[in-house]
Structure 1
Amino acid sequence: MITVAHSLLVLAVASLSEGRTFQFQNKYGETIWVGSLGNPGHQSINGGGWEMAAGSTMTVNVDDSWQGRIWGRTGCKFDASGRGSCQTGDCGGVLKCNGAGGKPPSSLLEVTLRGSGGNDYYDVSLVDGYNIPITMTPTDASGGGDHYRCRPATCTANVNAKCPSELQVVANGAVVACKSACLAFNTDQYCCRGAYNTPQTCKSSTWPKNYPSFFKGLCPDAYSYAYDDKSSTFTCANTGYRITFG
């Protein structure tokens, strides 16, 4: 006979297997506006965007196989209908990005959850540039083995403070973001396209100026350009994650 207690236990286990918990924290010191974009076939988290006051936290549940990207927007002003703009990370002038990506440069979290028992993949990408510090940390895992297994993927440096002048995005006299070389100059070599569209032909050490080494020096665990996989991709399994801005 199936008891009520057994039924509740089954429901609890099912619930755990059907989703993950993302804990968002704003430690940036000022209000940010989170942006989210699900990959094709995956919904954006919380309509794609929301406001977080300095020091605030927020917890959301996502599908166990969610895939997409998350970023922080700064300097935003929205009216009562959610229309407006942001200095960095803007997604078409709306609070709820709802299917739109953020305008680079912005620090990105790229996330691929693989369901119960599968390996999740996550990373911080500065391939299109940087705007604010961002970190993704497993919350339910004990770690395991090496630097890239169940460890924080992070970029906590103030890149804007050291950004080369030719990469700077300036608003109201302050550097608010730092472009990648691809975004700033749009050449095949800097963008790893055309004749440079392979790991063998696109090596930042051979560029006219090795801009990825600047980003990598400040944020060694983040993607600095397209073929920076080996020192940037993290894995874990059966865990929630804490996403921290600042």
Structure 2
Amino acid sequence: MSIGIFDSGIGGLTVFREISKEFPQADIYYLGDTARVPYGNKSKETVIRYSVEAANYLRSFGINALIIACNTASSYALDLLRANLDIPVIGVVEPGVETALKYTKNRKVGVIGTSATIRSNSYKSLLKKSGISVYQKACPLFVPLVEEGIVEGEIAELIVREYLDGLVEKGIDTLILGCTHYPLLKETIKKLYPHLKIVDSSQAITDFLHRENLYFEGTGKRKIYITDESENFERFKNMLVGNNIPLEKIELSRLCTL
């Protein structure tokens, strides 16, 4: 059995890595839409179209489950994909919220993400159903920071503080990393705010798959596709999941069917 994973670019590789560890026998196909990254500054309609195209491409491999490893796509396209696909479709929002509810003691939770994710209020809506006080912050510089490999040191710390000091002052005890790029800044965030419980969506998804009793047997095949050449993507792929997993560029026209 096989799993399809898609994201707008690098960030979803954190999800790919964790699922590969937890389900070593599964066949896993990853699509990074590097030609159209980021999704976070696109309209809802555009994000839905990109998501449907990515899902249709991965379906061509006969996948048994689809994981939307993109918070923006999860916020806007999850319901539509679930309604139109006959396989389990898992986003990053629900698992992240479940983990945050388990972590928080004072019921004050911070959410950071792209502008589109924060604007969608996807995390906030679910958290508020459980009576949680939610404080949100869009962090648009985090994605280019990660894409450039600046995940620690003085520059990274300055930008993290610029975005997060205000949230921490609200008294949050738990922080949801509402973008799959953000786990690459997790160590810097931990260093600056050691008291925070941090929700990493890549780990939350694997926990969710186990709780849903979704298990996958296959040959352990791994394949990664991108829609445009990207030195940063290849560098991070090698760092996160190794250089023995094949990377193939596909023409964007193979996705653009809508």
> TM-score when scaled to structure 2?
0.27
Structure possessing the higher relative contact order (Cα contacts under 8 Å, 6 or more residues apart): 2
Question: Counting helix residues as a fraction of each chain, which structure ranks higher?
Answer: 2
Question: Counting strand residues as a fraction of each chain, which structure ranks higher?
Answer: 1
> TM-score when scaled to structure 1?
0.28
User: Which has the higher Rg, Structure 1 or Structure 2?
Assistant: 1
